[in-house]
C-alpha cells in the first residue's frame, strides 16, 4: 500500500478536499465525455508518482477530477493495456488508486468487435458478464488483505441493478442497447477468422483487449461495476473485413453521444450517500 499512498498523497495535494464518488475509465475514441464535466483539476499521467503512461495514440493520458451533473467523478481519459508491455499490476494500478481516493462505483467503456450476428457497427453493448482470456491476472501473487479477499466472488461481476437501470434508460429514450458477454484477449493484433469462430463458440458477444483486468481488481476491492462496449467492427464470417484504426475511431465517434448520455444518466440515477 505504500506506493498507493504516495500516489494518493500527491493527487490529494492537487485536488484538496475533493473526494470522487465515481470512477470512469474511457476507452478507445471515447474521450469526449470530459466535455460534459465541470473540470476541477486535470493531472497528466506522467506527473503522477508510480502511474503508468499511455502509449496508445487514441488514449490521451489524463486523470480528470470534476463534476458530472452534480456528482463528483474522477475520469481516466486513456487506459493501460497488457499488450503495451505493462504488468497486470500496472494495468489495474489506477483502479486501486481510485478506490483509495474514495470512489464508490466504477464505470468502464471500451471499443470492441461484434461477434453476435445481430450487432451493427456503433451499437452499444451493456456488458452482463465476461470471459477472461488474458494471459495474466491482476490477483495472481501474494494477496493484499487490505485491498480484498484472497478468493473474491465473481458470480455477479457487473452490478445487476445498474444493468436494469441502463435497460430502463434505453427504453425511455428509445435508445438501441444490446446486452451481452465481453471476452478480453491480450492483443494487440486483431483475431483470425478461426479465433472469431472460437470466441463465438465459447459464448462471447463482443471481443476486446481491456476492461476485464480493471473490473477484476475493482470487484476484488468490493467496488460495484458497470461497463459498456461500443461495437466498432463486425467479426461474423459474412461481415468480416479488414479493419484500420481510423475505422474504429469513426465508429466510436458515431456512438459516443449515446454512450456519454447513458453514463451521465446512470451516474445521476445512483443514490446519494447520506
CATH classification of the domain holding 33: 3.40.50.1580
* Dihedrals phi, psi of 11, to nearest 5 degrees: -65, -40
d(CA 79, CA 152): 24
DSSP letter string, 173-240: TT--EEEEEEEE---SSPPPHHHHHHHHHTT-SEEESSSHHHHHHHHHTT--EEEEEEEEEE-STTT-
Residue 161 included in any domain:
yes
Residue matched to cell numbers 499511455? 54
Give the pLDDT confidence score for residue 59 in this predicted structure: 46
Residue 215 included in any domain:
yes
Residue 105 included in any domain:
yes
Q: Domain containing 238: what range? A: 2-269
Residue matched to cell numbers 462496449? 229
In contact, 162 and 226? CB cutoff 8 Å: yes
Give the pLDDT confidence score for residue 224 in this predicted structure: 97
d(CA 202, CA 198): 6
Check residue 27 and report its DSSP letter.
-
- Which are the contacts of 86, defined by CB distance < 8 A and separation ≥ 6? 52, 80
Structural domain count, the chain: 1
Residue 36 included in any domain:
yes
Give the pLDDT confidence score for residue 53 in this predicted structure: 79
Residue 216 included in any domain:
yes
One digit per residue, the tens of pLDDT, for the chain of length 274 reads 557 889 999 999 999 999 999 999 998 767 778 888 999 999 999 999 999 877 655 446 899 999 998 999 999 998 899 999 999 999 999 999 999 999 999 999 999 999 999 999 999 999 999 999 999 999 999 999 989 999 999 999 999 999 999 999 999 999 999 999 999 999 999 999 999 999 999 999 999 999 999 999 999 999 999 999 999 999 998 888 888 888 888 888 899 899 999 999 999 999 987 5
Q: Is the dihedral of CA 199, 200, 204, 206 positive or negative?
A: positive
DSSP letter string, 235-260: -STTT-----HHHHHHHHHHHHHHHH
Q: What is the pTM of this model?
A: 0.95
Residue 274 included in any domain:
no
Amino acid at each position: 500500500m505504500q506506493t498507493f499512498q504516495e500516489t494518493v498523497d500527491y493527487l490529494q495535494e492537487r485536488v484538496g478536499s475533493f473526494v470522487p464518488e465515481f470512477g470512469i475509465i474511457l476507452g478507445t475514441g471515447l474521450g469526449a465525455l470530459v466535455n460534459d464535466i465541470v473540470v476541477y483539476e486535470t493531472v497528466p499521467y506522467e506527473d503522477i508518482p508510480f502511474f503508468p503512461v499511455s502509449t496508445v495514440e487514441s488514449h490521451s493520458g489524463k486523470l480528470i477530477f470534476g463534476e458530472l451533473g452534480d456528482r463528483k467523478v474522477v475520469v481516466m481519459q486513456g487506459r493501460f493495456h497488457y499488450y503495451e508491455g505493462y504488468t497486470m499490476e500496472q494495468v489495474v494500478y489506477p483502479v486501486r488508486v481510485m478506490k483509495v481516493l474514495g470512489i464508490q462505483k466504477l464505470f468502464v467503456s471500451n471499443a470492441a468487435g461484434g461477434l453476435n450476428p445481430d450487432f451493427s457497427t456503433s451499437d452499444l453493448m451493456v456488458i452482463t458478464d465476461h470471459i477472461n482470456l488474458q494471459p495474466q491476472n491482476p490477483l495472481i501473487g501474494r494477496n493484499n488483505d487490505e485491498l480484498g479477499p484472497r478468493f473474491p466472488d465473481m458470480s455477479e461481476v457487473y452490478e445487476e441493478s445498474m444493468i436494469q437501470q441502463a435497460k430502463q434508460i434505453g427504453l425511455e429514450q428509445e435508445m438501441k442497447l444490446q446486452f451481452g458477454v465481453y471476452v478480453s484477449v491480450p492483443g494487440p493484433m486483431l483475431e483470425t477468422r478461426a479465433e472469431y469462430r472460437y470466441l463465438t463458440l465459447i459464448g462471447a458477444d463482443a471481443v476486446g483487449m481491456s476492461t476485464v483486468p480493471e473490473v477484476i481488481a475493482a470487484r476484488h476491492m468490493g467496488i460495484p461495476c458497470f461497463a459498456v462496449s461500443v461495437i466498432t467492427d463486425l467479426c461474423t464470417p459474412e461481415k468480416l473485413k479488414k479493419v484500420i484504426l481510423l475505422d474504429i475511431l469513426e465508429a466510436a465517434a458515431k456512438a459516443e453521444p449515446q454512450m456519454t448520455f447513458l453514463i451521465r444518466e446512470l451516474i445521476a440515477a445512483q443514490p446519494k450517500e447520506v
